[in-house]
Chain A
Amino acid sequence: GQQVMQIPQYQHVQEGEDFTTYCNSSTTLSNIQWYKQRPGGHPVFLIQLVKSGEVKKQKRLTFQFGEAKKNSSLHITATQTTDVGTYFCAGNNDMRFGAGTRLTVKP
């Protein structure tokens, strides 16, 4: 079945630095969704990408979907302490989540 891999597993940055997490699938995805889970919380939906090569922005967050629809990335510009949490991607045609990238931010 579909396998969604995320890298890196952990990322520690200084506040103000940029952060990127990558999601790679072994199969072509119909769409991909990104979620954020704060420590002690539950996953919260951020965005969905559907089209090949699609780029969407939410303030300091930029999401990309690869041309082949097998990979995706989330980039955060100038991280803030409120960005702390684990970011998951999910290939929704199979409801499988990646292991997530845990982001910590040093003020």
Chain B
Amino acid sequence: DTGVSQDPRHKITKRGQNVTFRCDPISEHNRLYWYRQTLGQGPEFLTYFQNEAQLEKSRLLSDRFSAERPKGSFSTLEIQRTEQGDSAMYLCASSFMADPDQPQHFGDGTRLSIL
């Protein structure tokens, strides 16, 4: 399977704990995006990378959220000191940078539940 893969699929944790999610993009894609989606809403942009560089981070993203893409391939999203409001589906997408922009391919997401 050469699609975008995310791990884990589900994560249940207690409030205050730290969690880390992993995303493996399509291998030739140099752009990687993180989104958060709650029920009935569209994907909310969090951040994106071009290769290993984090080019944009949403102003809505608190300092508890951090993302990395150290080698320009897989990426991790960490949430520190989780809160109830962090419960959501976290989606990763990847694309190939070109002109015009190329479509994003989404993974199945990681569903986070905060107890």
Q: A residues touching B (Cβ–Cβ < 8 Å)?
A: 6, 30-31, 33, 41-45, 48, 50, 86, 88, 90, 92-93, 95-100, 102
Contacts and interface: CB of A to CB of B under 8 A. Distances in A.
B48 interface: yes
Nearest to A92: B101
A31 B101 contact: yes
Interface in B72-115: 91, 93, 100-101, 103-109
B101 A43 contact: no
B21 interface: no
Interface string B54-85: 00100000000000000000000000000000
B43 A43 contact: yes
Given A95-B33, A95-B48, A45 B42 contact: no
Contacts of A48: 100-101, 103
B103 A33 contact: yes
Nearest to A95: B45
Given A30-B101, A33-B104, A97-B35, 9 more contacts: A42-B91, A44-B106, A45-B104, A48-B101, A88-B43, A92-B100, A95-B48, A100-B42, A102-B40
